[in-house]
Amino acid sequence: MNSDGPSSTSGVGGSADLATPRRNSKRPKYSKFTQQELPACKPILTPGWVISSFLLVGIVFIPIGLASLLASRNVVELVDRYETACIPDGFKKDKVKFIQSDSNKTCNRNLRVKKDMKPPIYVYYQLDNFYQNHRRYVKSRSDQQLKSKNKENETDDCKPEATINGKAILPCGLIAWSLFNDTYSFSRSSQKLQVNKKDISWKSDRDHKFGKDVFPKNFQNRTVKGGATLNASIPLNKQEDLIVWMRTAALPTFRKLYGKIEVELKKGDVIQVTLENNYNTYSFNGKKKLVLSTTKWIGGKNDFIGIAYLTVGGLCFLLALSFGIIYFVKPRRLGDPTYLSWNRNPGGGSNN
Amino acid sequence: MSSGEHLLSLSSDSPSPRSPHLDFSNLSSSLEYSSVVFEDNPQANLLVKARELSGDAHLDLSGEHSASPSKSQDLHSTRFRSWDFPMALPPPERKKGLVSWGSDSNLQHSCEYSPMSTSSPPRGSSRTNSVVDQVEIPRVFRKSMQFDDGPSREGNYRSIHINDPAMTNDKYRFRGNEIRTSKYTLINFLPKNLFIQFHRVAYLYFLGIAALNQLPPLAVFGRTASLFPLLFVLLVTAIKDGYEDWRRHRSDLYENNRKGLVLQSGKFLNKKWKDIRAGEVVKVCVDDSIPCDMVLLQTSDPSGIAYIQTMNLDGESNLKTRYARNETISMDFEEGEISGVIRCEQPNRNIYEFMANMELDGQRCSLSQSNIILRGCQLKNTEYAIGVAVYAGQETKAMMNSAASPSKRSRLETYMNRETIWLSIFLIIMCGVVAVGMALWLRRHESQLDRLPYYKKSYSVTGMRPAKLYKYYGIPMETLFSFLSCVIVFQIMIPISLYITMELVRLGQSFFMVNDKHMYYKPTDTWFQCRSLNINEDLGQIRYVFSDKTGTLTENKMEFKRASVYGKNYGTFLAASSTSQDKDIAGPSTASSSGKKRWKLKSDITVDSELMDMLHKDIEQDDRIAAHKFFLALAACNTVIPVHASSTCIESVNDDVIAIDYQGESPDEIALVTAASAYGYTLFERTSGHIVIDVNGEKLRLDVLGMHEFDSVRKRMSVVIKLPNGEVKVLVKAEGLRTLVVAAKDLAGGELDTWQRMYEAASTSLTDRSSKLRQTASFCECSLNLLGATGIEDKLQEGVPETIESLREAGVKVWVLTGDKQDTAISIGLSCKLLTSNMQRIVVNGNSENECLKLLSDAMVKYDVKSTNGRIENLQLSENAETDNHEIPDETKLNDLPYSKVRNDEGSQSTTKAPLALIIDGNSLVYILEKDLESELFDLATACRVVLCCRVAPLQKAGIVDLIKCRTEDLTLAIGDGANDVSMIQMADVGVGICGQEGRQAVMASDFAMGQFRFLKRLLLVHGHWNYQRLAYLVLYNFYRNAVFVLMLFWFMLFTAFSTTNAITDWSSVFYSLIYTSVPTIIVGILDKDLSHKTLFQVPKLYAAGHRNESYNLQLFWITMIDTLWQSLVLFFVPYFTFKVSTIDLYSIGSLWTIAVVILVNLHLAMDIKRWVLLTHCSIWGSILVTYICLVILDSIPVFPNFGTIYHLATWPAYWLCILLIIVLALLPRFIFKAVGQTFRPSDIQIAREAEILRKRRGYVWSKPTEGSADVRN
């Protein structure tokens, strides 16, 4: 940021001494390297460099900020929080009991589209206060078991959900056990909107991490289920909900991709959502939200990057300006020996 | 100063340099002094500086101007007595009190030393300097006395039966001659090496962390990953140790299997070294190494002399003489039966002493140091030598001496440890926060714990069994475990790797110091040596330099310049006349006078023609006889060995010219012998029994009856010789060897018998031999006839005044500590510009505690020095209210004291304004250091610009260094060249040895060694500055680098319900300080430099940056920590807000953090780099690249949960924007701070740097800011 281009120090040092005849002795070998005189670039922070670096940052950051902000603003997002709304009135006081009961958990929600949404429209579920990044949770999985058929008994890391009646659970561990099991179906004007649930997970995970010959075994066989059950006849690499779920989220509030709607939604459309409210977040007061969102290059709707870039860029312009004024008002000749400590306060101590 | 630059050593230089002649009181006092001065160096270095004025003050013993008509030989005793000592003393007392060279007063000395003597006579009024001798410095020195193994007690000896190893080894099992320097064997390597390695605290820390991580509830890292750092370090160290040991094994094997000639059944047959046993007779041929310590029995030389080179043992390159006893030199080993018993002391480390006696056929004779040859030495100039092995293998002195000197710790490292404590506190706070958070969280969710899908404290219930807990131990235990896991995750907060990094960096710095061509001394082919790798950076903060004088400031190359013979001074005019003239005079006169043969000598001596003429006068005059004896004594009374050069090129040309090379342990002796030779008294041959001196072509054989070698207590040496005509004479050289008086006397009759008896008894004694010998010496070294005195010149080393000037300008105080007397010290101070004429000299020469206190307090009051303990104020009322802060050793103030001001108001205020110089002698120091006047001395000394300590003993030197070390925070450096400087060198924070003329003991004890004093300037101002800047930055940067990473993890933990989840993969966490960020720090630590050596050399004041702790201090540490905090917040929260509610997974955000923190810390470093070379570029950008490569590799292994992350991330624009934002935002405050700081508060270094770079770039002429710093020469 403040380099000066190479200014060689060679030739300044003892080039005269280099000419002295050498003796056959242990005398050190002279080279620019050993004499620490390799050609070097020695940047100094001149006012010019300071101001131009600020300006450069400003010039780069403000357009990026504007573009990001614009992109973020153009993302259309529909969010519906439903975990309370989907509890029948009678169960409002004891939601956990409801969720653990066998009663019908179907719930209907209506979403109004505020702006045109171009496909693909991503359907996410968003959980709050769910610490998928908890250490106990993150570690409770067996990647070997997921990958290869003959490692199905590698369940040591999966405790406390490793075995049932002495038989290995596959997929084992808390993560798989707590697989999200709310389901959504969408319709617009009584016309069903297809949700594409293919390719919602990372391709690398499907291809290399989850075996194509590994099938669920002994999964969710307990009376109290942790979450979704898996179809034991579908290999793991096809169980995309599981694959998505097993990419544990970084933060306690997270979204996971549920599927994609590949038709355009127009402004004013009302989307009817039929959802099965199965997942128990009530025991830890977790929120559940359904999100429909388009994406831009920047990702989902998030103004942070745009605003941050604009702020930093603006700040740098400001700094460039103020430094310019400072240098103009109170210039200091670079390398001016009068600023040396022993010249500034002659006779007095330079320290102490 | 033309001739004044020469340092002439004349024994009785006038105390007042201006007075051309000495009066008797002066003479006597100086002689009195000189006989008892505590000589700090056994080889003598009492050097008298001629003085700056001119060469006109000279020694005048008998005194042309003196009224004394007496030309009597015993002038000394009568005179001295009458002038210096009260006659009223009773006879015995008087005798004791008589302090003249060669008198019995030395008996008193030896009595005081000897444990046998209990009665110490009263001192009388004489100024008995022997106090100095017996001084016991009260402080306990933290130095390892290298030769403290005292002689063995009587009865505790070993008997060696000559040529009877069976009997020798029968009773006692002496060690065989096999040596083992290797530490390990194949079997014990692993356990022993590990055991040794775990002595280091750092490794224990690693081990502790790794062990914690193995506990099931704490397994934060994968087990392998957590062991990796420890295993890595252990492995590297083990390989290094193993390699070194393998080499030792190899050399041991080689040594042990060497063949030596051992007498076996009447014949000398080859035998492996390792099979040689004590008691066996061994034959060593020329140029062979000596296989074990053995007593010489016979050599090829008929007189039993063997020359050995002790280079491997003590580093001295000159040949030393060893003698076989007369009793054994004629033995026939291969035929006759030999039997005898040697009783010698138990094996010890003292290579300078050996005590034994030998019994042959019922006759007992003594054996000493001169009869033993030690393993590791080489036989030279002697065809063969036969000896009997006394110590073998591990018991040889060479093996017992292989111990390392104590290691020192640098100031920066001490500070660093203080800050490490702060970091530990941070670590504990962070872990505490997480643990408390965990406890609170658990408590709040206690009822839910089993239902929380992400916690699930117990196994799922199947059937009716009660739930079994899974890794849940209750809230208190969980809190504790949480704390411990945190310690594991945050372990790099304590920068253990920093210690390894620092070692590497210092190694690199040493490489550059060693290879600096400006510190290479060509004449002696000495290059710089780094003997200690721990204190490179201390060189940049030295405040006090304690310098020895002889051999350090001066060359210690002696040249005979003047003589006073029989009261007449010779050689004065030589100093004035030009050298070419001298040669003209010297050349023909030697040739003409020496008659048949000429001895070619290595050095040319200018001969005083007047003296020469007198020597060749045929008239038998007193002065002629005195001159004759004088030179005879010079030639005979020494330990110099003449080596006849066998190179034939000279001889073939001219048979008359034989080259003689004198080899001796002391340069002074060689100078004297050479001088004697120039005057026609050539020492031709020396054996233990006789000396042959060629007197003007006529060979004179003198039998040596006994020799009292020089020791620092007597400060003289004498030799008892028998002239061919049967006369027995004692020849004495007293008071050192350089400033020296020569005397002689005849020894005859009863006196001779007594002496012989005493000598015999003393020299065969096994106990207290030295004190007995000393007594014997005192017996004969009295009532001597004065023959004359000699003056030897020792030149100042090149560049000494300039170096001292620069150091002073740099704010370094140079103190000279010398064994010389006061006048000499002052003259040397003047000639090396330490003292200047405008200085106020404070001379402290006290003889008692009160006197010293008074002198000190007077000076303090007079010059208005503030006392720290107030005693002075109580003693005397302070008259002057003006409080000038003299007590602070402020370099600028001292340097820039406006002299003009002094001149302006001279008279009134000059006393308080002029720079002060303190001259203190060893005698006063005894009282001061012993009697609790230290603080006064300290106050006064630090207020002075110059301190000269004269007549100080080696331990006092260390005492003075310790005085400063104890009372200030300032760093001290001691520089010296001789054995007498060892204690000082070891005491000081940094010890520098000069590879000079006096052996290598100082070098062995030093941390750095070099060829010349003037290199000190470069060492401190250039390398010291660089090392300090580099290492200081390195430490701060390493703190930052690790802390920013840890803090980032910490913020994340607050968002994981206080569970110690690490978003960064195990391997990345391990690699962070090991691979991702380690190389640039090392490269920058070695290669970065703020200023060129020219600038640093020209502007010594820049050195003060180190004094001000500018590059590393607590304030900087806190600023760095605040910066770290900010950067860690940016690191964490930018991704947090960017991906706050999104699908991002744990490993993606971890990957983002990893790369962001690596780029950030590398760019942070890049921002501070002052000098970019190719290597720097490679390391910085390479590190970032390597990090990416590592991430790609780690993310390509399917079994890791982070599989595939980087591939996805790289496709997100938000990822790249995030990184850019983090870098800019995190570095912005630092950049602003730097820019503002450099604009408004530029440091000296910054200005000098700008000037240097701009000058170069646009031919900018930088007017030098200082006036008197012109010396660029090196």
Distance between CA atoms of residues B939 and B866, nearest Å:
7
pLDDT of residue B102: 32
Residue ranges of the alpha helices (H) in chain A?
A: 15-18, 47-73, 95-100, 135-138, 143-147, 174-177, 203-204, 240-246, 304-329, 341-344
* Longest CA span, chain A: 103
Burial (0-12, 13-18, 19+ Cβ within 10 Å), B2: exposed
Q: What average pLDDT is seen over chain A?
A: 83
Better-predicted residue by pLDDT, B738 or B358: B358
pLDDT of residue A16: 34
pLDDT at B14 over 90: no
CB < 8 Å to B484, chain A: none
Strand partners, B919: B843, B948
pLDDT of residue A28: 56
- Asked if B815 contacts B948 with a C-beta cutoff of 8 angstroms, the reply is yes
- Asked if B819 contacts B661 with a C-beta cutoff of 8 angstroms, the reply is no
Q: Tell me the two tokens of residue B1126.
A: 């900010």
Distance between CA atoms of residues B995 and A292, nearest Å:
83
Better-predicted residue by pLDDT, A268 or B1271: A268
Tell me the nearest-neighbour CA distance from A91 into chain B, angstroms. Answer: 19
Better-predicted residue by pLDDT, B824 or B1070: B1070
Q: Residue B1221's pLDDT band (boundaries 50, 70, 90)?
A: very high
Q: Tell me the two tokens of residue B815.
A: 């103190």
pLDDT of residue B105: 33
Least CB–CB distance from A342: residue in B892, B1134, B1228: B892
Q: In the 3-class helix/strand/coil scheme, how is B320-339 assigned residue by residue?
A: EEEECCCCCCCCCCCCCCCC
Distance between CA atoms of residues A110 and A272, nearest Å:
5
pLDDT of residue A26: 53
H or E element at residue B89? none
Mean pLDDT of A129-153: 86
pLDDT of residue B29: 33
Which range of B364-368, B395-399, B477-481, B561-565 scores highest in mean pLDDT? It is B477-481
Least CB–CB distance from B512: residue in A36, A208, A283: A36
Mean pLDDT of B777-789: 82
| Residue of B1101, B1143, B1148, B1180 best to disrupt the A interface, most CBs of A under 10 A | B1143
**pLDDT tens, B15-30?**
333 333 333 333 333 3
Q: Residue B572's pLDDT band (boundaries 50, 70, 90)?
A: low
User: Residue B529 carries which side chain, given as an amino acid letter?
Assistant: Q
CA atoms within 13 A on the CB side of B1000: 18
Nearest residue to B898 via CA among B837, B943, B838: B838
pLDDT at A62 over 90: yes
Strand partners, B320: B308
Q: Which chain B residue is nearest to residue A164, measuring alpha carbons?
A: B462
**pLDDT tens, A238-288?**
889 999 999 999 999 999 999 999 999 888 889 999 988 888 888 888 889
pLDDT of residue A71: 92
Nearest residue to A275 via CA among A89, A83, A119: A83
**pLDDT tens, B68-127?**
333 333 333 333 333 333 333 333 333 333 323 333 333 333 333 333 333 333 333 333
Distance between CA atoms of residues B521 and B524, nearest Å:
6
Q: Is B751 within 8 Å of chain A by CB?
A: no
Task: For B280-295, give one letter per residue: b (16+ CB within 10 A) or e.
Answer: bbbbbeeebbbbbbbb
| Residue of B458, B465, B892 best to disrupt the A interface, most CBs of A under 10 A | B892
Cβ distance A26 to B527 less than 8 Å, yes or no, reads yes
- The model carries a pTM of 0.76
Q: Residue A169's pLDDT band (boundaries 50, 70, 90)?
A: confident
Burial (0-12, 13-18, 19+ Cβ within 10 Å), B797: buried
Q: Residue B407's pLDDT band (boundaries 50, 70, 90)?
A: low
Residues across chain A? 352
Check the CA dihedral B87-B90-B95-B99 and report its sign: negative
Q: Which long-range contacts (CB under 8 A, 24 or more apart) does B1180-1184 make?
A: B1180/B1080, B1182/B1079, B1183/B1076, B1183/B1077, B1183/B1079, B1183/B1080, B1183/B1158, B1184/B1158, B1184/B1159
Least CB–CB distance from B1146: residue in A133, A319, A334: A133
Q: Residue B463's pLDDT band (boundaries 50, 70, 90)?
A: low
Confirm whether B548 is a catalytic residue: yes
Better-predicted residue by pLDDT, A333 or B1152: B1152
pLDDT of residue A316: 95
pLDDT at B1088 over 60: yes
Q: What percent of chain B has a predicted confidence (pLDDT) above 70? A: 73
Mean pLDDT of A66-92: 89
Cβ distance A254 to B1143 less than 8 Å, yes or no, reads yes
Q: Tell me the two tokens of residue B671.
A: 């100078």
Q: Is B1199 within 8 Å of chain A by CB?
A: yes
Helix axes B769-780, B105-113, angle to 10 degrees: 170
DSSP per-residue letters across B1088-1122: --SS-HHHHHH-GGGGHHHHTTTTS-HHHHHHHHH
Distances (CA, A) of B44 to B665, B714, B978: 11, 11, 10
Distance between CA atoms of residues B502 and B328, nearest Å:
58
Which range of B518-522, B809-813, B1185-1189 scores highest in mean pLDDT? It is B1185-1189
DSSP per-residue letters across B286-318: TTPBP-SEEEEEEESSTT-EEEEE-HHHH---S
Q: Residue B314's pLDDT band (boundaries 50, 70, 90)?
A: low
Q: Residue B460's pLDDT band (boundaries 50, 70, 90)?
A: low
Tell me the nearest-neighbour CA distance from A6 into chain B, angstroms. Answer: 9
pLDDT of residue B277: 82
pLDDT of residue A291: 92
DSSP per-residue letters across B1160-1218: HHHHHHHHH-S-B-HHHHHHHHHHHHHHHHHHHHHTT-TTSTTTTHHHHHTT-HHHHHH
Mean pLDDT of B629-637: 84
Mean pLDDT of A109-117: 90
Better-predicted residue by pLDDT, B1134 or B909: B1134
Q: What percent of chain B has a predicted confidence (pLDDT) above 90? A: 13
**pLDDT tens, B749-768?**
788 888 888 888 887 776 66
- Other Cβ atoms within 10 Å of B645 Cβ, number: 14
Q: CA-based Rg of chain A, rounded to a whole angstrom?
A: 32
Distance between CA atoms of residues B1081 and B1069, nearest Å:
18
User: Residue A210 carries which side chain, given as an amino acid letter?
Assistant: F
Which range of A88-97, B193-202, B929-938, B1153-1162 scores highest in mean pLDDT? It is B1153-1162
Cβ distance B460 to A224 less than 8 Å, yes or no, reads yes
Nearest residue to B260 via CA among B274, B251, B272: B272
| Residue of B456, B1089, B1176 best to disrupt the A interface, most CBs of A under 10 A | B456
CB < 8 Å to A255, chain B: 1141-1143
Q: Is B1057 within 8 Å of chain A by CB?
A: yes
CB < 8 Å to B1239, chain A: 47, 323, 326-327, 332
H or E element at residue B41? none
pLDDT of residue B221: 67
CB < 8 Å to B516, chain A: 28, 34-35
Contacts of B889 (CB under 8 A, 6+ apart): B543, B813, B942, B968, B970
**pLDDT tens, B42-66?**
333 333 333 333 333 333 333 333 3
Helix (H, G, I), strand (E, B) or coil at A260: strand
Nearest residue to A247 via CA among B1067, B1061, B1146, B1053: B1146
Tell me the nearest-neighbour CA distance from A348 into chain B, angstroms. Answer: 6
Mean pLDDT of B316-338: 73
- Asked if B125 contacts B96 with a C-beta cutoff of 8 angstroms, the reply is no
Q: Which chain A residue is nearest to residue B1088, measuring alpha carbons?
A: A36
Distance between CA atoms of residues B327 and B689, nearest Å:
12
pLDDT of residue B317: 60
pLDDT of residue B58: 35
Least CB–CB distance from A284: residue in B452, B1167, B1250: B452
Give the angle B996-B1000-B1006 at the CA atoms, nearest 5°: 100
Cβ distance B454 to A298 less than 8 Å, yes or no, reads no
- Asked if B993 contacts B985 with a C-beta cutoff of 8 angstroms, the reply is yes
CB < 8 Å to A351, chain B: 890, 892, 1104, 1107-1108
pLDDT of residue B1037: 93
Q: Which chain B residue is nearest to residue A348, measuring alpha carbons?
A: B893
Distances (CA, A) of B296 to B56, B280, B360, B810: 51, 12, 14, 55
**pLDDT tens, B582-599?**
333 333 333 333 333 444
Cβ distance B471 to A204 less than 8 Å, yes or no, reads no
**pLDDT tens, B482-516?**
898 888 888 888 887 788 888 889 888 988 988 88
**pLDDT tens, B645-699?**
554 444 444 444 566 777 776 777 788 888 888 888 888 887 767 888 888 778 8
Distance between CA atoms of residues B258 and B70, nearest Å:
67
Q: Residue A228's pLDDT band (boundaries 50, 70, 90)?
A: confident
CB < 8 Å to B1214, chain A: 298-299, 305
Tell me the nearest-neighbour CA distance from B483 into chain A, angstroms. Answer: 14
Distance between CA atoms of residues B451 and B51, nearest Å:
97
Q: Tell me the two tokens of residue A23.
A: 């003796």
pLDDT of residue A68: 93
Mean pLDDT of B961-986: 85
pLDDT at B1022 over 60: yes
Distance between CA atoms of residues A70 and A298, nearest Å:
10
pLDDT at A108 over 50: yes
Cβ distance B1250 to A38 less than 8 Å, yes or no, reads no
Residue B306 — φ and ψ, nearest 5°? -130, 140
Strand partners, A274: A108, A185
Q: Which chain A residue is nearest to residue B1238, measuring alpha carbons?
A: A45
Q: Residue B870's pLDDT band (boundaries 50, 70, 90)?
A: low
**pLDDT tens, B742-752?**
888 888 778 88
Check the CA dihedral B1043-B1046-B1050-B1051 and report its sign: positive
Distance between CA atoms of residues B411 and B969, nearest Å:
9
Distance between CA atoms of residues B866 and B883, nearest Å:
8
Better-predicted residue by pLDDT, B340 or A131: A131
- Other Cβ atoms within 10 Å of B594 Cβ, number: 20
Complex ipTM, two decimals? 0.90
Catalytic pick from B548, B864, B962, B981? B548
Sheet of B378-380: strand order equals B319-323, B305-309, B378-380
Contacts of B1065 (CB under 8 A, 6+ apart): B1147, B1150, B1151, B1154, B1194, B1200, B1202
Q: Residue A6's pLDDT band (boundaries 50, 70, 90)?
A: very low
Tell me the nearest-neighbour CA distance from B826 into chain A, angstroms. Answer: 28
pLDDT of residue B907: 38
Distance between CA atoms of residues A10 and A235, nearest Å:
69
Distance between CA atoms of residues B116 and B108, nearest Å:
12
- Asked if B1156 contacts B1222 with a C-beta cutoff of 8 angstroms, the reply is yes
Q: Tell me the two tokens of residue B894.
A: 């001292």
Better-predicted residue by pLDDT, B436 or A342: B436
| Residue of A9, A32, A35, A42 best to disrupt the B interface, most CBs of B under 10 A | A42
Q: What average pLDDT is seen over chain B?
A: 73
Distance between CA atoms of residues A96 and A87, nearest Å:
10
Which range of B323-337, B404-418, B1065-1079 scores highest in mean pLDDT? It is B1065-1079
